[in-house]
Amino acid sequence: MTYTSTRDKSVRVTSSEAITRGISADGGLFVPTNIPRLSADDLLQLSSMDYKGRAKEILSLYLTDFTPDEISACVDGAYAPGKFASDKIAPLVTLSDGVDILELWKGPTCAFKDMALQLLPYLLAVSASKAAQGRRIVILVATSGDTGKAALEGFKDVPDTQIMVFYPNEGVSPMQKLQMATQEGANVAVCAINGNFDDAQNGVKAIFTDKAVAEKLAARNLMFSSANSINWGRLVPQIVYYVSAYCDLIQENKIKNGDKINIVVPTGNFGNILAAYYAGEMGVPLNRLVCASNQNRVLTDFISTGVYDRRRDFYTTMSPSMDILISSNLERLLFLLTGQNDTLVREWMTSLSKDGVYDAGAALLAKMNVLFAGGFCDEAGTSALIKQVFTEKGYLCDTHTAVAVDVYNRYRAETGDETYAVIASTASPFKFCASVLGALDQKAAEGLDEFGMVRALEKLTGQVCPPQLADLNTKKVRFTQCCEQDEMEEAVLQSIAEL
Ligand SMILES: *Cc1c(COP(=O)(O)O)cnc(C)c1O
């Protein structure tokens, strides 16, 4: 298996190189040159394995320059007993007839990012031993809230790595901010920026591709890599849980092997839903992939018109991890749907960065709409959904999951499509306490601080806040720095000098 770049398909690298570098030098994203297939028999075999067994099988199809022992060690380390609050790692919960919730937030930071970021440091260590020529790795992360914490937790005190995280100062929940500000570990740094997630992501991308900065790093025997979902090492662990969910549906007699399913994903950077697409291309029988957006509905519009237009107001919503106007991983889908047309992808991406818009045209739109459906849910709709689902079904959704459930409900009502559906649930409701509590009872949050709200939400719902969130108020705040977008490079160089 080799990997190429979405912006230059003459590029050929191994999986270790793709993971070590994070992003191609031409600014494109690494993608496998072909997608491995799972037959119905393979799926049946995987069904009899546990999550780790399934992960090992699937990773070995993509990471062909890893030895079986290396893959085993990575997976066993990432999903070791005690790291996830469920033996199943990513359990399915029935919401109603024909609708399951795939809970992806049982890991150490209570968001789905843990599914990949517990594994990525192991993958990167093996990759770097093959491809980094003895250089130590500096991980740069732009986060809309959850990636930052999950990456810090995954990489803390990992030998031969340093990690620096940038987050939008006004764009994350108080719990998310506190999770990052109190991060432990000797190799970590955290900095807020005055700007939104797109500013942070653009800043990080610019630092990555800056030759002068790269030379400064090389002089210290360091090199950059990325823990954002632009890194292939983030995506491949996410493919696993969609295949695994299909296997669980078979195992739990909810579907027959071969039955098609719908998958619904609350989407921001398009990484999670792209992993579902790959699972489908591998052979998981899919009927529709439903892409759910919040009020930042740039993807909903793209899926209905074929025009990607980021020239619009940016909203800070109660589902901050989806407050994104430049969905980086869409580039990978465009590359696949155009039959690996790197010239077109390059033109569109240049047009997006220069003019803020590109038109992918009717042919691509038609191809996309065979599988993808899109929808969005505004703030009032998100609150109403949280309350309705809790009242009627006793299930407590976080704000991101609520967007997905609402978009799915309307999709099903409009289309009459009753295909068995799996809705990705991406965070613990306790990460977004103020919004979730406020949705259930507007007055309940009045006058309470974040931890008062945690207790009120526990009392109101009878559910228990994960201890790693409940105990944050006892942790020491270590990081309070905030910089401008054009000061990010300096902040990185300074932190490298200090760490
Ligand atoms: C990151 C995140 C998302 C969006 O996922 P993408 O892969 O960026 O589309 C949705 N919900 C939560 C809670 C997240 O942390």
Distance CA 57, CA 55 (A): 5
Q: Is the torsion defined by CA of 226, 210, 212, 130 positive or negative? A: positive
* Ligand 1 atom nearest residue 401's Cα: 11
Q: Rounded mean pLDDT of 203-223?
A: 91
Distance CA 207, CA 212 (A): 9
Q: What is the distance in A from the centroid of ligand 1 to the CA of 231?
A: 15
Q: What is the distance in A from the centroid of ligand 1 to the CA of 199?
A: 17
What's the chain's average pLDDT?
96
pTM, full prediction: 0.95
Task: Give per-residue pLDDT as tens, 461-473.
Answer: 999 999 999 999 9
Task: Give per-residue pLDDT as tens, 483-492.
Answer: 999 999 999 9
Q: What is the distance in A from the centroid of ligand 1 to the CA of 400?
A: 8
Task: Give per-residue pLDDT as tens, 83-123.
Answer: 999 999 999 999 999 999 999 999 999 999 999 999 999 99
For ligand 1, pick from 102, 103, 104, 269 the residue to mutate: most ligand atoms within 8 Å of CB.
Answer: 269
Percentage of the chain exceeding pLDDT 90? 92
The ligand 1 site (C-beta within 6 Å) comprises 111-113, 146, 229, 266-272, 321-322, 400, 426-427
Quote the Cα angle for 420-422-427, to 5°.
160
Q: Could you report how far apart the first and last alpha carbons of the chain are, in Å?
A: 36
Q: Where are the alpha helices (DSSP H) in 209-270?
A: 211-219, 232-251
* Ligand 1 atom nearest residue 431's Cα: 13
> What's the pLDDT score for residue 43?
98
> What's the pLDDT score for residue 205?
86
> What's the pLDDT score for residue 498?
82
- 298: number of CA atoms within 13 Å, CB side? 26
Number of Cβ atoms within 10 Å of the Cβ of 356: 14
> What's the pLDDT score for residue 461?
97
Q: Helix, strand, or coil here: 165? A: strand
For ligand 1, pick from 426, 428, 430, 436 the residue to mutate: most ligand atoms within 8 Å of CB.
Answer: 426
Higher pLDDT pick, 275 / 172: 275
Task: Give per-residue pLDDT as tens, 370-409.
Answer: 999 999 999 999 999 999 999 999 999 999 999 999 999 9
Tokens of 13: 């690298």
Task: Give per-residue pLDDT as tens, 245-300.
Answer: 999 999 999 999 999 999 999 999 999 999 999 999 999 999 999 999 999 999 99
Task: Give per-residue pLDDT as tens, 336-370.
Answer: 999 999 999 999 999 999 999 999 999 999 999 99
CA dihedral 76→236→352→375, nearest 10 degrees, is -100
Q: Rounded mean pLDDT of 48-62?
A: 98
Q: What is the distance in A from the centroid of ligand 1 to the CA of 41?
A: 32
> What's the pLDDT score for residue 144?
83
Flag whether pLDDT at 499 surpasses 80.
Answer: no
Lowest mean pLDDT segment, chosen from 38-52, 54-68, 201-215, 226-240: 201-215
> What's the pLDDT score for residue 497?
85
Q: Rounded mean pLDDT of 137-144?
A: 92
> What's the pLDDT score for residue 117?
96
For ligand 1, pick from 180, 230, 294, 321 the residue to mutate: most ligand atoms within 8 Å of CB.
Answer: 321
> What's the pLDDT score for residue 228?
87
Query: By the 8 A CB rule, do 259 and 420 touch?
Result: yes
> What's the pLDDT score for residue 423?
99
pLDDT band at 62 (very low <50, low <70, confident <90, very high): very high
Q: What is the distance in A from the centroid of ligand 1 to the CA of 181?
A: 20
| Rounded alpha-carbon distances, angstroms, from residue 163 to 134, 169, 220, 235 | 18, 18, 16, 19
Tokens of 187: 């190799």
The one-letter amino acid at 277: Y
CB neighbour list of residue 142: distance below 8 Å, 6 or more residues apart: 165, 166, 167, 197, 200, 201, 203, 204, 228
Q: What is the distance in A from the centroid of ligand 1 to the CA of 438?
A: 22
DSSP 135: P
- Beta pairing partners, 106: none
- List the strands of the sheet with 3-5, edge to edge: 8-13, 3-5, 30-32
Ligand 1: residue whose CA is nearest its atom 1: 321
Higher pLDDT pick, 158 / 92: 92
Ligand 1: residue whose CA is nearest its atom 8: 269
- 373: number of CA atoms within 13 Å, CB side? 19
> What's the pLDDT score for residue 196?
92
CA dihedral 75→81→86→89, nearest 10 degrees, is 0
> What's the pLDDT score for residue 9?
97
Flag whether pLDDT at 199 surpasses 80.
Answer: yes
